[in-house]
Structure 1
Amino acid sequence: MSAFNGKSVLVLGGSRGIGAAIVRRFVADGARVTFTYAGSEAAALALAAETCSTAVYADSAERDAVIEVVRNSGPLDVLVVNAGIAIFGNALDLDPDAVDRLLRINVHAPYHASVEAARSMPQGGRIIVIGSVNGDRMPVPGMAAYAMSKSALQGMARGLARDFGPREITVNVVQPGPIDTDANPADGPMKDMLHGFMALKRHGRPEDVAAMVAWLAGPEAGFVTGAMHTIDGAFGA
């Protein structure tokens, strides 16, 4: 119950689903947690009241807003970047503005947040970004922009791990497969297709991802950096 006592944690995108599970896990482990939200104010305020964490509005598509919330929350012991969006459809038909917004949220925000956090992060800090198994594997059409954004996080983590390594700050990517959330429910219309790719014929739980994040943020993972950690029931095997 005290693994993160006295530690300061910021979760970008923490109001629902995987993000909310991460907030709950760090609070349960003793951390002081701040999280951001954009489109889910009611859920964010309810989670903040439930967990005694702090909810802050910030649109991850806005670079300056991301940098400001990281700066105002620091110095951080742990930064978790969970905010992300997906757009689906034939690449020939997608709105270019929508693709650019996806890249601002899924790629630019994690980069700028990580760099800003590292400016004041103490020795041995942790940066963890939530990617996707689709950064490694894209078995269906219509998701090229999303897969591109998640693959970009891999290069970012490898590079920043080297930049921040002299200060023992680790940078890792967690890559979930199908997880039971509002965006991808376990009983949704895609479940049979998704489970067909998997060794474990079920969706994972947000708490499963939160547990991996907590391990990477903890003392046992001090030698783990610049790496991708897939949690997908063998979706990508």
Structure 2
Amino acid sequence: MKKKLIAGNWKMNGSIEANDRLVRDVVGGLPEGGCQVAVCVPAPYLAQVQMLRHHSALELGAQDVSAHEQGAFTGEVSALMLKEFGVRYAIVGHSERRQYHGESDTLVAEKARAALAHGITPIVCLGETLQEREAGRTEEVVKRQLAAVIHLNGHCISEIVVAYEPVWAIGTGRTATPEQAQQVHAVLRAQLHAATPHSERVHILYGGSMNAANAASLLAQPDIDGGLIGGASLKSADFLQIISAASAARA
């Protein structure tokens, strides 16, 4: 039985001083033999956090990765560059990237492919807007988003992580009920099962405002294998409480 995975997404937050304090507190509080844990940090802080994590169980993640290997792509960061910093995970297709940077399903799939080519696990984010949910289109939207990734990466789709992040619940304080989240996770699990005989390897995370108060009830659902944590990952006590809840369960 695989362990749960808790990945923090710092978004565009942090400073050298705050990062030092936060990472040291998290590393110091990690339970032995607990769940898998990662922090996805802004690119300028990758080297700092790589040093701070030292030989702990805390894995390093990036918040984005280029679909390109190298070349005249100013501002982009390639998977090979990330690999040199010991990056294990890279978030692709976060709703903020889709919304503010116009990232398409196809581009997200290409970024996942670039990460996989260098041994980095892409955390593929999926999710519907409030308008799409109210129109009854949740299943259609998330299946379309995942299908693009499967189409391009079907041969190694069991190596990805999926994160269901309903857009209406990101940073709003609103959270899908455990039952609502489980319903979508079950749809995604079935889609992965149809794509690969190794679908049980894939972690499907919930990422819509999971926090210390609601983590245990969400993580108790059969198809929720962990969480992609936003604001709560910036507070060591809250992040460690979520990690503790995940460590008490098994995916």
The TM-score normalised by the length of structure 2 is 0.38
Structure number with the bigger relative contact order (C-alpha 8 A, sep ≥ 6) is 2
The TM-score normalised by the length of structure 1 is 0.39
